[in-house]
Amino acid sequence: MLLDAKECQLVLVDYQARLMPAMHEAASVLDNAARLARMAALLRVPSVLVEHCPDKLGPSAEPLRLACEPLQAAGLLQHLAKTHFSALADGLGELLRPPARPVQGNARSLPKHLQKAVPQVAQRSSVVLAGCEAHVCLLQTALELLEDELEVWVVTDACSARTERNRDAAFDRLAGAGVELVTTEMVAFEWLRSAEHAQFKAVQALIK
């Protein structure tokens, strides 16, 4: 099964300024998170930027904030501040699956053949997920997304923890639970599917 950009949402978890210096291979992990954000903007993949206790850990690190600006400008970015380790406890599920809009006005009182259909919110069932720390907030978020019956793809080279052991233990557990483990380049080329894609050169430039 390959990733389909039209079925995906991107969730970036806790790449915060006061947290990243303690992360293993922080610079390359942050670079890959920024690449994911820029690719999502190019391919119009809706995204969520999650921050844990931002009043204490600060905002997302500047390289990621800058990379998210095109998403923000396109109306494709949502922000979520959380205090729980799993982002679902603070509303991520509702952001990924917004409720359908209710019927307006007196439409319910009309005969059924005159009622306008309520537009259904497009469901994107695949969540491309990356973040820190891999064995805590990322892991708990991923497992609860699975429980919420979403497909979860964790981008391993855009994830970190304070130690390699904790990071790798998270990957082992996630794989055992049914999460697909991928890399930034795998996401890029599966979202593109073809060298003839209109955004191929722009995405390729991000990963060279």
Q: What is the CATH number of domain 5-96+134-207?
A: 3.40.50.850
Provide long-range contacts, Cβ within 8 A and 24+ apart, for 75-80. Answer: 76/40, 76/41, 76/44, 76/45, 76/46, 76/47, 77/46, 77/47, 77/48, 77/49, 78/46, 78/47, 78/48, 78/49, 79/48, 79/49, 79/50, 79/51, 80/48, 80/49, 80/50, 80/51
Task: Note the pLDDT of residue 118.
Answer: 41
Task: Note the pLDDT of residue 110.
Answer: 53
Task: Note the pLDDT of residue 38.
Answer: 98
Task: Note the pLDDT of residue 136.
Answer: 98
Task: Note the pLDDT of residue 42.
Answer: 97
Task: Compute mean pLDDT per 10 residues along the chain, 208 residues long, and list them.
Answer: 96 96 97 98 97 95 97 97 97 85 52 48 84 98 96 98 98 97 98 96 94
